[in-house]
């Protein structure tokens, strides 16, 4: 029989709410933390996160709170689902209330600015928690909230994290796989957002599947090049957190990063788009961290460079397309070890 867990999800956006919904539906006492007390209260009263996941009813055994100490003391398994730029501060606050016995799985797909730290590294620096993992895969929140069949990866060095992650989220429509390559899973989850920005641009310009397939294939190559340079395993990028997540994020209008790219192609400015969006498109900030890391370590990432130029150096959409089509051809797997 599956073990019963107290599951605490920190972050009440669409993805955090979806993971909390799945955990509660699986029969686990579940608590969802929202930054604002009024948001937590509204979710509890309406049994719905109207702001981020409208028209999705939440289970009665899903509690809400805005108190980090309460959720830390409640939880056997903590699930951290906050934007990358705010994760360090939340981890620092959480670190005051954990004792190291809990498992933690994060679902944040980004790299920290300036330090280029992966999210598990940030969590280790700011808390005493060591049983840490990541959940990453082709997981569009709205589809999963509506019980659409999907799969994901829980990567950790600790078997206890796999076991609890599977118990919390695995069910008849959500298949949870496991692996040990935390680095690869984190890099894959972060880098696919950069490629999705470019995919959105191509879609907004009216280009079809040939163009998207070219972009995704070469994007996967860059993901693997970056990931192996950071210490990830090449095979990871052929799985859920690599090609799986890349396909979903580059192919769906539900993807926030895809939406940003499409709107840029339609003439909106990045400032306008970000002002309109409730949720964070992680690829915008990740492109900065990736560019800095790649330059420091002399890694060739032409797609990431083209996106950086468009977003942060005053580039235009026509220039992006020109940059992408000017990428030199050559050996398909150059720069990748077997």
pLDDT tens per residue, range 316-327: 999 988 988 888
Say yes or no: 195 and 80 in one domain. Answer: no
| pLDDT score recorded for residue 333 | 78
Please report whether residue 235 resides in a domain.
Answer: yes
Domain-located, residue 67: yes
Q: Looking at the structure, do residues 22 and 112 belong to the same domain, yes or no?
A: yes
Q: Of 159, 180, 201, which one is at a domain's C-terminal end? A: 180
Tell me which of 180, 208, 234 is where a domain ends: 180
Q: Is 131 a catalytic residue?
A: no
- What's the CATH code of the domain at 249? 1.10.1040.10
Task: Specify if 207 maps to a domain.
Answer: yes
Residue 1 clears pLDDT 50, i.e. is over it: no
279 and 191 both lie in a single domain? yes
**Confidence (pLDDT) at 212:** 94
Q: Which of 21, 192, 278, 285 is catalytic?
A: 192
Do residues 104 and 219 share a domain? Answer: no
Q: Is residue 117 part of a domain?
A: yes
Q: Does 64 share its domain with 169? A: yes
Residue 335 lies in a domain: no
pTM of the model: 0.94
What total number of domains does the chain contain? 2
Reported as a single tens digit per residue, the pLDDT across 58-76 is 999 999 999 999 999 999 9
Average pLDDT over the chain, rounded to an integer: 94
Host domain of residue 142: 7-180
pLDDT at position 334 is 74
Residues 148 and 189 occupy one common structural domain: no
In a domain, 83, yes or no: yes
Does position 78 have pLDDT exceeding 50, yes or no? Answer: yes
Residue 296 has pLDDT above 60, yes or no: yes
Same-domain check for residues 269 and 165: no
Q: Name, in order, each residue with C-beta under 8 angstroms of 80's C-beta and a sequence gap of 6 or more.
A: 10, 11, 87, 90, 91, 94, 104, 105, 106, 107, 108, 119, 123
117-138: per-residue pLDDT in tens? 999 999 999 999 999 999 999 9
**30 three-class SS:** strand
Residue 73 lies in a domain: yes
pLDDT above 70: residue 308: yes
The pLDDT tens digits of the residues spanning 204-222 come to 999 999 999 999 999 999 9
Q: How large is the average pLDDT for residues 114-119?
A: 95
Q: Kindly tell me if the per-residue pLDDT of 143 is higher than 60.
A: yes
Residues 48 and 153 reside in one and the same domain: yes
Q: Do 21 and 83 have their domain in common?
A: yes
Answer yes or no: do 191 and 114 share one domain. Answer: no
Pick from 39, 19, 45, 38: nearest CA to 30 = 19
Query: So what's the pLDDT on residue 337?
Result: 60
Confidence band for 277, pLDDT divided at 50, 70 and 90: confident
Same domain, yes or no: 150 and 206? no
Can you tell me whether residue 79 is helix, strand or coil? strand
What's the sign of the alpha-carbon dihedral 108, 109, 113, 119?
positive
- What residues are paired with 80 via a beta bridge? 10, 106
Q: Which of these three, 158, 180, 202, is where a domain ends? A: 180
Whether 70 and 175 map to the same domain: the answer is yes
**Is the model's pLDDT at 85 over the cut of 80?**
yes
């Amino acid at each position: 029989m599956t073990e019963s867990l107290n599951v605490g999800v920190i972050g009440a956006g669409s993805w955090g709410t979806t993971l909390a919904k799945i955990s509660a539906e699986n029969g686990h006492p579940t608590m969802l933390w929202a930054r604002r007390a009024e948001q937590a209260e509204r979710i509890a009263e309406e049994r719905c996160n109207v702001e981020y996941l409208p028209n999705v009813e939440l289970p009665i055994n899903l509690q809400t709170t805005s108190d980090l100490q309460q959720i830390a003391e409640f939880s056997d398994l903590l699930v951290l689902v906050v934007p990358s730029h705010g994760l360090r501060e939340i981890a620092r606050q959480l670190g005051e209330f954990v004792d190291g016995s809990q498992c933690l799985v994060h679902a944040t797909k980004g790299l920290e600015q300036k330090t280029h730290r992966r999210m598990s590294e940030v969590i280790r620096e700011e808390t005493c928690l060591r049983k840490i993992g990541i959940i990453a895969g082709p997981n569009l929140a709205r589809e999963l909230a509506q019980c659409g069949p999907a799969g994901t990866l829980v990567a950790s060095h600790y078997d206890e994290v796999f076991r609890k992650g599977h118990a919390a989220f695995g069910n008849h429509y959500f298949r949870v796989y496991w692996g040990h390559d935390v680095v690869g899973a984190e890099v894959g989850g972060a880098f696919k957002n950069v490629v999705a920005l470019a995919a959105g641009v191509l879609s907004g310009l009216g280009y079809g599947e040939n163009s998207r397939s070219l972009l995704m294939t070469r994007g996967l190559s860059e993901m693997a090049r970056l990931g192996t340079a950071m210490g990830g395993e090449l095979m990871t990028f052929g799985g859920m957190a690599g090609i799986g997540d890349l396909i979903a994020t580059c192919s769906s209008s539900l993807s926030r990063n895809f939406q940003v790219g499409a709107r840029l192609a339609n003439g909106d400015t990045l400032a306008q788009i970000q002002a309109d969006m409730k949720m964070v498109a992680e690829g915008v900030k990740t492109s900065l961290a990736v560019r800095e890391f790649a330059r420091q370590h002399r890694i060739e990432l032409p797609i990431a460079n083209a996106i950086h130029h468009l977003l942060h150096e005053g580039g235009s959409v026509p220039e992006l397309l020109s940059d992408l089509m000017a990428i030199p051809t050559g050996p398909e797997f150059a720069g990748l070890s077997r």
